[in-house]
Structure 1
Amino acid sequence: MPHIDVGNDAPGILGLMRFRPRTADPLNDLAEALLRAPSTLTRGERELIAAYVSRGNNCTFCTNGHAELAAQQLAGGLPAVRRVLDDHDVSGLSDKLTALLTVADLVRRGGREVTQESVAAARKAGATDVEIHDTVLIAAAFCMYNRYVDGLATRLPDDPDSYRRNAAHVIEHGYGK
């Protein structure tokens, strides 16, 4: 049961954003900048990082939503994404993305968990400083989004297929549109 009445039936962060549009706009702008703006990391890779952090934080709503977004934008679709999230099977990923997921998971555990060695390993795997920066910021932001969603005990969608529909909408129109 949600901790507060947000006055709408939208699940997860969607309900919270409708409840507080004033805070929704900057949160959507941040997601747009991190996950959709031009980057050397694909949108699917960045969504996978968001889903990976959310999975590590046990945030069901964000895990499922960003897993679907990643799946619709990465080769292998949802089965490949689920192998990474559920089984930690990174065999189909590039060395660079694997190293960046390691950095993201370290951030999830605590910012000071990121070491010179983990950053050096990401560089050795081909990650640029901008990609490392963006990975750390995605991970840090998703720790906040996950805690926002779960800290207010938002509800999950009644229809699990809504994740697929919402992902298609975000891919076409962006966050908060």
Structure 2
Amino acid sequence: MSFLKSLGTDSALLSVFRKFPETARPLLDYHELVMRAPSPFSAGERELIAAYVSGINGCDYCHGVHTVTAEQFGVPEGLLVAALTDLDGSPVDSKMKPVLRYVGKLTRTPSRMTEADAEAVYAAGWEEKALHDAVLVCALFNFMNRMVEGLGVEASPDYFGVSGKRLHDGGYTGLAKLLT
């Protein structure tokens, strides 16, 4: 149920984007840069980060959509639930665990980030560009989680499947094309 009364009760985020294209277009352009431009992380790994951050925030909409999107890119089904339940005991790749720990801490307690947190990411074999990109995905999805929750955007698991496939197949540029 959207808090924007003009959109109706079954409006997804795409409805908000269509109502406010002047802010949606640059936001989707930024999504495309952060989530699909060349990066040390694959698109699936970035979607994993997005879904993980959204899960920490309890944003069911973003967590649902980006879990499906990550799975469309090859992230094993159930991996995100396992990571959110027990990251250390989960089957997340050992190189990704420090990245998820980092974005988890950045999401929960941003003022407590330390150089040691970054060093754990570097020790796993990631370079500065990877840390930069992980922080951008984390920041973007903390923003999106607040936007979605603040506007009361909700959807069913059926919609997560449709949206996740759409993001996999067309990226965020493809989503922007639906605004017209």
Q: TM-score, normalising length from structure 1?
A: 0.89
Do the aligned partners of residues 2 and 166 (structure 1) sit closer, same or farther apart at CA in structure 2, a change above 3 Å counting?
closer
Which residue number corresponds to residue 145 of structure 1? 144
Match for 2:149: what amino acid?
Answer: D
Q: Within 5 Å, which residues of 2 pair with 1:25-174?
A: 25-76=25-76, 78-88=77-87, 91-157=90-156, 160-174=157-171
Unaligned ranges ≥5, structure 1: none
Do the aligned partners of residues 131 and 6 (structure 1) sit closer, same or farther apart at CA in structure 2, a change above 3 Å counting?
farther
**1:86-116 Cα deviation digits (max 9, x unpaired):** 4435542233211111111122124322210
Give the length in aligned residue pairs. Answer: 173
CA RMSD in angstroms, aligned pairs only: 1.8
CA contact (8 A) 1:57 1:146 kept: yes
CA contact (8 A) 1:96 1:125 kept: yes
Within 2, Cα distance between the matches of 1:32 and 1:86? Answer: 29
Match for 2:111: what amino acid?
Answer: R
Within 2, Cα distance between the matches of 1:95 and 1:89? Answer: 9
Which residue number corresponds to residue 11 of structure 2? 10
CA contact (8 A) 2:32 2:171 kept: yes
Do the aligned partners of residues 75 and 67 (structure 1) sit closer, same or farther apart at CA in structure 2, a change above 3 Å counting?
closer
Within 2, Cα distance between the matches of 1:89 and 1:72? Answer: 24
Within 1, Cα distance between the matches of 2:118 and 2:68? Answer: 28
What secondary structure sits across from 1:161 in the alignment?
helix
What secondary structure sits across from 1:99 in the alignment?
helix
Unaligned ranges ≥5, structure 2: none
What secondary structure sits across from 2:96 in the alignment?
helix
Q: TM-score, normalising length from structure 2?
A: 0.87
Shift of 1:131: 0.5
Do the aligned partners of residues 10 and 86 (structure 1) sit closer, same or farther apart at CA in structure 2, a change above 3 Å counting?
farther
What secondary structure sits across from 1:155 in the alignment?
coil
Within 2, Cα distance between the matches of 1:27 and 1:41? Answer: 21
**Runs of at least 4 residues off by over 6 Å:** none
